[in-house]
Each structure stands twice: as C-alpha cells, then as structure tokens.
Structure 1
Amino acid sequence: MRSILYLFLPFLLFSSFSLKKEEKHISFQNKIIQKEIDRDAIIEYAKKYLGTPYLYAGSNPEKGFDCSGFVSYVFKNFGLNLPRSSSGYKNLGKALKPEDFKVGDILVFYGYKDRTVIGHLGIICEANGMQSKFIHASSGKAQQVTITALDTEHYTKRFYKCIGVLSE
C-alpha cells in the first residue's frame, strides 16, 4: 500500500502544484481584466444613482453625494481608488484634447467663484468633444446626480481639463 502511495505522491504533488499555479494564473488574468474596465459599464453603474440627492461631503448613495464623492464611489466599484476631494484632480493625469474624450473620462472644472481651485468633477457619459455630456452630483439647480451637457455656458467657462483614468 505504501509503495502505491509513494508511486502516486509525486503525481499528486505535481497536480496540486499545477492547480495552484493555474489558480494564480486565473487570478492574474482577473486582475488584467479588472484594469481593462468596460467604459460603458461605468456609465451604466453611474446611471443607477441618477436622482440621488446632492450632499456636501457625501459619498454614500443612501445619504447623498457631492461631485468627488460620486466620482470616487463609481470608480471604486471597479477597483480604482481615485482622490476623494476635487482638489486632488488638479495635477492628476494628462489633459486630453477634446477630440480624444471618451466615455468614462473625468471632466475637471474650476470652482464657479475662484478659477485657481478645482471645484467640480463629472464623468463623460456621451463623448463628443466639447459637446459631450457628463454625469455628476450637482450642487446647482438640480441638487442631485444628473446628466448635463458640457457645452452649457456655466460649464464651458469653468472647464479646466479632461483626464483619462482607464486603460485603452
């Protein structure tokens, strides 16, 4: 009986090793897939929160969102940790040209009173250069998560940059 065990032991160990290696490979593959996030899935997820009330410093869908709370909450669902404060986006990423805007890119705006500080963020949900539409938690008239056109005067004059945080 022992001789049979010794005969099969290397096979069992090798099989176990191979399986563990394959599991690691699968896990590694999942991490790659995780980084290659479907841009449309981000918008589909973000749209679940349309109508959620605006709440200063909010990052909880049950209570409300502010703009950076909304953006960080949405991307965190896809494994991306982004700054929680809009000011953290001032030096983040490389500014994209309007013709390179894509669904899932982040729009960064100056504050409406002070053009030296970042005051608002949104996620592009329909990419069309400076005529794109974005989803965001608005503290303006809407007072909720809403979709707005970038080419409205209020936002075009406050536009700072658009950044991509997703792989191609």
Structure 2
Amino acid sequence: MGFAALPALAQDAPEDTATPPAAKAPEPQRSKTDAAATATLAALLPHLAGNDTIPLMDRSAMFAGDLSRLLSAYDASRSVASATDTALANDSDGKVQSILRRAMTLLGTPYRWGGTSPDAGFDCSGLVGYVFRTALGIELPRVSREMASQASNQLIRDRSALVAGDLVFFGRRGRVDHVGIYVGDGRFLHAPSTGKDVRTDTLLSGYWGDKFMQARRLDL
C-alpha cells in the first residue's frame, strides 16, 4: 500500500525531477505543530501495517479514521496557537504572563483532594484559585462548577477562540467537574487526580478533548 511514503503528506510536494534542480535554499524550521503532526502520523503507520490479523479493508478504514482525527486536531491547534499569539501580543500590562509564570512554577506539585497550596498539594480548583489569587489578587469560587457558572466572565464554547489565561472546564453528562488554565498551543495546566502531579495536557483530542465543555475568560 505504500505506507512508507505517507509521512510526506505533512511536507511540501517534491520538486519536478525532469529539470535540473536549482540550488536548494534551506527550509525554514517547521513549527512544533508541524513536527508533532508528522511524528504522530509516522507513529500510526507501524500500528496499521503490523497488525495482520485485521482484514485489509478494516485496517484501511481504521487508518483513515485516525488520520482524520489527527488532521482535525492539527487544524484546531493552528487556530488556537494564532489566538494565543494575538492575546500575548496585546498583553501590555503583563497580566497574562504573570498568570502563566505563576502556573508554570507549580508543575510537579502533587495532587491532593481539598488542597489549596504548594505545601499541601492541590486539587483542580485549588490550583486555579491559588494561581489567580497569588498572581493577580483575583479571588475565584472554591469549586469548578461555580467558576464555570460565573456570568460576569465571558463564556467561550469554541476551542479555537481560547487564549492563554482562560479557564477551561471539563465534565460528563453536562455537569462540570474539572477545571484548568489554558496555556496555549492547545494545552492546559491542571491538577489531574489522586496519584498524579500538576502537569499540562492537550484539550484538542483524547481523554480531555472528549470531556471539554466550555471556557471562561476573566476580565483581567
């Protein structure tokens, strides 16, 4: 099926070999998003080609579905990154940067239910409340569902409209049960669950992508 050639989809089309090639200018460095898309696509190929127990047509359909989800996430990540770049460019008072700097210093802090400080550990809403309180003096409700229902903050439902510093909410069956801070490039920082540390995850696909419900933008 020629799988080995498929990763070239993420690159420019080859030049016409009928004419002598001119001196080749160095290619601009690809963005992190381009590199991630190519790497993910390459990782799918062995998974598809190596499983001979699946009929050929079923394997082809499975690959097409994986590729479709990959390209959708790739397009969404470009839109999100553009919105974040614009927000940071307009961050003249440095408030968004203050939020991000404070949030990033907490990476690796252990999760603890009911925790609201680096020493005690954090649960999801405890982490978000601590960041906004210590970075900008903004007090937020203690639990995620109350943060999500604050009508005074702009409601955002489209992931492509997110900018760094937005609060992002997740849940099941229409009920919010988790919150994090959007940091850009399709990723958010949060305290996930018992036994895990504060970290960043993607909200464009996978587990958290499926649970994303809405976001709120605070008037900083």
Q: TM-score, normalised by structure 2?
A: 0.53
Shift of 1:99: 3.1
Moved more, 44-53 or 96-105: 96-105
Q: Find the partner of 1:105 among 166, 170, 176.
A: 166
Q: Check the 8 A contact 1:56/1:65 in 2, yes or no.
A: yes
SS of alignment partner, residue 57 of structure 1 = coil
AA aligned to 1:79 is G
- Equivalence for 1:133: 187
Shift of 1:37: 5.4
- Equivalence for 2:145: 87
- Give the aligned length: 124
- Equivalence for 1:59: 116
Structure 1, unpaired ranges of 5+: 1-35
Give runs of aligned pairs for residues 5-154 of structure 1, distance below 5 A. 38-77=95-134, 78-92=136-150, 93-96=153-156, 97-110=158-171, 114-126=172-184, 128=185, 132-139=186-193, 143-154=196-207
More helix by share: 2
Moved more, 37-46 or 66-75: 37-46
Q: Which has the larger radius of gyration?
A: 1
Structure 2, unpaired ranges of 5+: 1-92
Distance 1:42 1:90 in 2: 18
Distance 2:111 2:125 in 1: 11
Q: TM-score, normalised by structure 1?
A: 0.68
RMSD: 1.7
Moved more, 52-61 or 157-166: 157-166
Shift of 1:148: 0.7
| Identity within the alignment, % | 31
- Equivalence for 1:28: none
Structure of higher RCO (CA pairs closer than 8 Å, 6+ residues apart) = 1
